[in-house]
Structure 1
Amino acid sequence: MAGYWETSQATDRVVLHRRVPPSFDENIELASDGTRSPYRFDGQIKVMLCTSEYLPTDAHEYVSDVFGEVPQSGTYVPGGSVLRAKEVTCPAASNTVTVDAADLGWYESAITARYAVIYDNRPYKAAKKPLLGFVDFGEDVSSSADGVFQITWSAAGVLVVTVTEP
């Protein structure tokens, strides 16, 4: 897949433009009949939480560009959590790839976050871990020390990626 990609959290809060990251380029194959199928998309796609100190921009490409991650609290650990029960769909008649997953929750945590950053955790170094997208909660969202910080993904999916020619 060559070209550019656009990601948006299914609620259309965020749009980024950049080159197709290696995680999508390596993981989607075109079959001889033109249909696409998920391929090796069992890598670790993770979600980290960041404070309002971080301001996402389309210039941010890798985890090493991200700052302001929330501190460890309860079950939240640095680097965030792996998306579970991932499902990737690639309809043959479209240029879209949809990534869906189970909702995420961090328990017994005192967290205040403004953003959820979604990234491919497979490369070893942060400078090589591509960002796939992010969610802007619109304001700081908090949980109490004995509470749950919960992300409920849209029914349309976690990420919808559209590939277009440059």
Structure 2
Amino acid sequence: MKRTATSLLLLLLISTAASAGSKSSAVAELRARLDRSDVAAVNAYLSAHWESRMAPLATAVQRCDREALDLSVRLLDTTNLEALQGHTYSLELAMGKCPEKLLPLVRVDQVAMLCAVNAFSEGHPSVKIDRELDRRMTALRRHRVVAESQTGSACLDRYTELRASLDGGG
């Protein structure tokens, strides 16, 4: 069953309050499950238990919980498109809040997917995307060591590309 980004956002917002208390146990359970099996099995489990497991993980990721960020990044290597969309959505939102925590966990080939503003624009339709991109670039540059890393530079380049395309330059 495919879920649109809008339905993901709605589900994540509704589940935030319910999952706040269970995020640590959900992340710990998923981490243990990954230790016992593999990425494909954990993502299949997440797809089958979206509200009770994926939603708490996404909430923890969006709150920049280091364990949740690490787990969600590890689960990106999947052919399960539903799970991939869920991880990408929450990690993209986290990138706007805590790039200094997330970028060191991300591979360079994942940067373009996560240094985006699609999820943000769906949740904040009245905010101008150019302002959000500028805010994200400024915030990332404040963390000089991360900004100068390979993934940090790639993320800044991606945001610059997106910004230029909004200005009609791309």
User: TM exceeds 0.5?
Assistant: no
What is the TM-score with the length of structure 2 in the denominator?
A: 0.23
What is the TM-score with the length of structure 1 in the denominator?
A: 0.23
More strand by share: 1
Structure number with higher relative contact order (C-alpha < 8 Å, ≥ 6 residues apart): 1
More helix by share: 2
